[in-house]
């Protein structure tokens, strides 16, 4: 089998018209900020770090700041993202 060129996927995305679309964009666009109406519920809620988008589960929102275990960035509650 012939080896694929290094930029093969970029080329495929280019001809499909997706060259400038980052894979993560749709995911990030679907997220919204935590607000004062956000509730965790009985089973907790998955929130996403505003810095690295790593998921984190919380069981209440009675906090003002939380530190991401993935990138170690401390963010205000309203900066965290939910689906
Ligand atoms: Zn993070």
Q: State yes or no: pLDDT of 75 exceeds 80.
A: yes
CA 41 to chain centre: 21
| C-alpha 37 to ligand 1 mean position (Å) | 23
Task: Look at residue 17 in the predicted model and tell me its pLDDT.
Answer: 66
Q: What band does 24 get if pLDDT is binned at 50, 70 and 90?
A: low
**Dmax of the chain from CA atoms?**
57
Task: Look at residue 25 in the predicted model and tell me its pLDDT.
Answer: 73
Q: Under DSSP, is residue 28 helix (H, G, I), strand (E, B) or coil? A: helix
Give, as residue ranges, everything with CB less than 5 Å from ion ligand 1: 49, 51-52, 54, 68, 70-71
Q: Which of 44, 40, 77, 45 is closest to 68 using CA atoms?
A: 77
| C-alpha 34 to ligand 1 mean position (Å) | 15
Q: Is the pTM of this model over 0.85?
A: no
| C-alpha 24 to ligand 1 mean position (Å) | 15
């Amino acid at each position: 089998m012939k080896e694929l060129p290094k930029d093969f996927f970029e080329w495929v995305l280019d001809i499909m018209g997706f060259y400038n679309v980052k894979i993560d964009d749709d995911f990030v666009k679907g997220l919204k900020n935590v607000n004062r109406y956000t509730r965790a519920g009985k089973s907790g809620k998955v929130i996403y770090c505003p810095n690295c988008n790593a998921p984190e589960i919380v069981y209440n929102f009675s906090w003002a700041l939380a530190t991401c275990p993935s990138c170690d960035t401390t963010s205000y509650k309203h900066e965290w993202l939910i689906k």
